[in-house]
Structure 1
């Protein structure tokens, strides 16, 4: 892993690092199998800017890019929820954002960082972003649900697909201050993978105070 510290600052209250990652392979014969690439555990599960305790880690999935995501999460028995509720969930759940509490030693964590052709090997597929927060799952779901739809200048509603890595990077780096700060308020870190074996790491310091 090669970390290049603070190569740019998208905003005064966001610090940006670009982290090169060597993803996991299928680890045939390895025991115990790794759940996360060497050197990445502190970034994904450790403290953020000295915060104590460390924030929880969540995976925000784009269900459209993960075959059978809902069934897989139920089978794994890990905390999760879809950001779309009511009748719309039945219709759009398979292409909607899902928020999942990520555990460091879980099979799901291993799959996120494993490159390959199997449907469960998700590295490089732009299927998720990682978000660190001291808030519990239910509160974050309620917060993010406010942003799943946006109204355009003609009054028409559109789905806002912030679960897509490129859209998330645009939010952190390109939105006007008020909108960006409103979206990021519960989070201390956002981690966005891309196809080139890179993690884009954004540490959030709203109001100049880490962890707020």
Structure 2
């Protein structure tokens, strides 16, 4: 939504989206909720209280006391609420929140209390290496990856996407659009045990996304800090060098950065980076990070020799 100059009453949602969420009218039983990240607001609980909207933190007890100001909060959004309108509006004004992407949306024929109990089952999951970790499904990118990863996993779709005989629809915002993930009513049924660990397809997508984000930062840093060294090398080629480094064991971000910079220097001198590795003493006894620094040292020395 824009600032809607000359429109009254102001709309909280685009008409086409309102028709999707409330096809039979907003009084027909289906409700819209948001799970908002308090870390992206100044005093979110106070804002929700001032709006007069039903809300509840997904953390409780000591976790709520310690982390309430950066925790996920569930809020029921009324069709004409100022908060819903601000969440869906983009402008330079600080209270318009579209670009902030502060949470995700859920709608279905359920109560806030039932949805709160349901979502609390998933705030933590078992890590692949053991122990517990927070599953930040209230982050738009994380939820999108999760829903893509479980699209063919009936157990997870049922456990996460339904409450009794009520299917849920999840919505995330992108730069210029929204994405809807509607769980089929066929997934509904008797409640089953909450899955303890995210399925492998979701973990794989998250690893891919995390690495893609790193590579975007990598290119920005290289071009800002070492413009001469990477001049003439395309973004795609820098990504390929990063992937090459990953395949060769440089998977720590700083080690991968050093590898790509070393490879860029070798392209300038026409040297073989693999040959440099063979020339470094005790190569096989060095850590991944130490290897990357040694490669960078040799590559820089070679550039100095050539020049």
Using structure 2 for the length normalisation, give the TM-score.
Answer: 0.55
CA deviations 1:11-36 (Å, max 9, x no partner) are xxxxxxxxxxxx222x3554322222
Query: Relative contact order (C-alpha < 8 Å, sep 6+): which is higher?
Result: 1
CA deviations 1:63-83 (Å, max 9, x no partner) are 222332111001111111110
Segments of 5+ residues of structure 2 without an aligned counterpart are 189-307
Structure 1 counterpart of 2:134:
159
TM alignment of 1:172-183, pairs within 5 A: 172-175=147-150, 176-183=153-160
Are 1:202 and 2:202 counterparts? no
Conserved in 1, the CA contact under 8 Å of 2:56 and 2:116? yes
Where is the strand percentage greater, Structure 1 or Structure 2? Answer: 1
Structure 1 counterpart of 2:14:
37
CA deviations 1:95-154 (Å, max 9, x no partner) are 221111111111111111110233321112221211112111111111110110112133
Conserved in 1, the CA contact under 8 Å of 2:22 and 2:28? no
1:185 to 145, 148, 162: 162
Determine which structure has more spread, i.e. the larger CA radius of gyration.
2
Are 1:46 and 2:46 counterparts? no
TM alignment of 1:45-124, pairs within 5 A: 45-47=22-24, 53-124=28-99
TM alignment of 1:21-36, pairs within 5 A: 23-25=1-3, 27-28=4-5, 30-36=7-13
1:44/1:117 CA distance change after superposition, 3 Å: farther
Conserved in 1, the CA contact under 8 Å of 2:154 and 2:187? no
Q: Distance in 1 between matches of 2:24 and 2:171?
A: 14
Q: Distance in 2 between matches of 1:39 and 1:72?
A: 28
Conserved in 1, the CA contact under 8 Å of 2:37 and 2:70? yes
Segments of 5+ residues of structure 1 without an aligned counterpart are 1-22
Aligned length: 182
Are 1:168 and 2:168 counterparts? no
1:45/1:130 CA distance change after superposition, 3 Å: farther
CA shift at 1:44, angstroms? 3.1
Q: Distance in 2 between matches of 1:29 and 1:207?
A: 44
Conserved in 2, the CA contact under 8 Å of 1:171 and 1:180? no
Secondary structure of 1:40's aligned partner: helix
Using structure 1 for the length normalisation, give the TM-score.
Answer: 0.77
2:116 to 141, 160, 175: 141
